[in-house]
């Protein structure tokens, strides 16, 4: 059997054409300080005010303070955040503000800060969400 270089080259080119690299860019920072449910973070230069951020263990927070060299954020869903996060841990941006589910399916249910059910009655099926930092309707609209 004769090996033909042009067949090998064509085969390799074909394999490269089918191969597609998918790169997902993530903006991350590192925790500088943790205390009293407030976290100071370095490295989230492009984060926006009110944006949801994710700590390890799927613990969420919200950016409240933008400074020149760091950002301040509040931690949601942990009685003692020092037990779950520490200085040096990585923090990820979500690119979205914090929203919660809204609607009649929430009546009589107990949910955590993120709107996830904690009453043991199963998932809540919701199709509408509302930003927690939304404009309040005026008296006439209410």
Q: What is the value of pTM for the model shown?
A: 0.65
Query: 92 and 32 in one domain?
Result: yes
The predicted-structure confidence for 81-132, as pLDDT tens digits, reads as follows 777 888 999 999 988 888 878 889 889 999 876 677 889 999 888 888 888 7
pLDDT over 90 at 12, yes or no? no
pLDDT of residue 57: 64
Domain count, the chain: 2
What is the CATH classification number for the domain harbouring 77?
Answer: 2.40.30.20
Nearest-angstrom CA–CA distance, 140 and 72: 36
In a domain, 9, yes or no: no
Query: 107 and 93 in one domain?
Result: no
Query: 119 and 80 in one domain?
Result: no
Task: Give Cα 30 distance to the centre of its chain.
Answer: 15
Query: 34 and 89 in one domain?
Result: yes
What is the average per-residue pLDDT within 18-28? 74
In a domain, 20, yes or no: no
Q: Which residue has the higher pLDDT, 58 or 138?
A: 138
In a domain, 18, yes or no: no
The predicted-structure confidence for 32-59, as pLDDT tens digits, reads as follows 999 888 899 999 888 999 899 998 867 8
Query: 91 and 110 in one domain?
Result: no
pLDDT over 90 at 71, yes or no? yes
In a domain, 108, yes or no: yes
Query: 70 and 121 in one domain?
Result: no
pLDDT of residue 29: 92
Domain that holds residue 130: 99-136
Query: 92 and 131 in one domain?
Result: no
In a domain, 34, yes or no: yes
The answer for residues whose C-beta is within 8 angstroms of residue 95's C-beta and 6 or more apart is: 51
């Amino acid at each position: 059997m004769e090996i033909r270089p042009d067949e090998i080259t064509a085969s390799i080119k074909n394999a490269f054409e089918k191969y597609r690299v998918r790169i997902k860019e993530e903006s991350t920072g590192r925790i500088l300080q943790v205390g009293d449910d407030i976290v100071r973070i370095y490295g989230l230069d492009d984060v926006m005010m009110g944006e949801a951020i994710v700590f390890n263990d799927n613990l969420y927070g919200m950016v409240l303070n933008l400074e020149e060299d760091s950002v301040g954020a509040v931690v949601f869903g942990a009685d003692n955040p020092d037990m779950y996060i520490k200085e040096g841990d990585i923090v990820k941006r979500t690119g979205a503000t914090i929203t919660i589910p809204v609607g009649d399916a929430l009546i009589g249910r107990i949910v955590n800060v993120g709107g996830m059910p904690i009453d043991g009655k199963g998932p809540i099926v919701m199709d509408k969400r509302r930003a927690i930092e939304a404009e309040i309707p005026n008296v006439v609209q209410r």
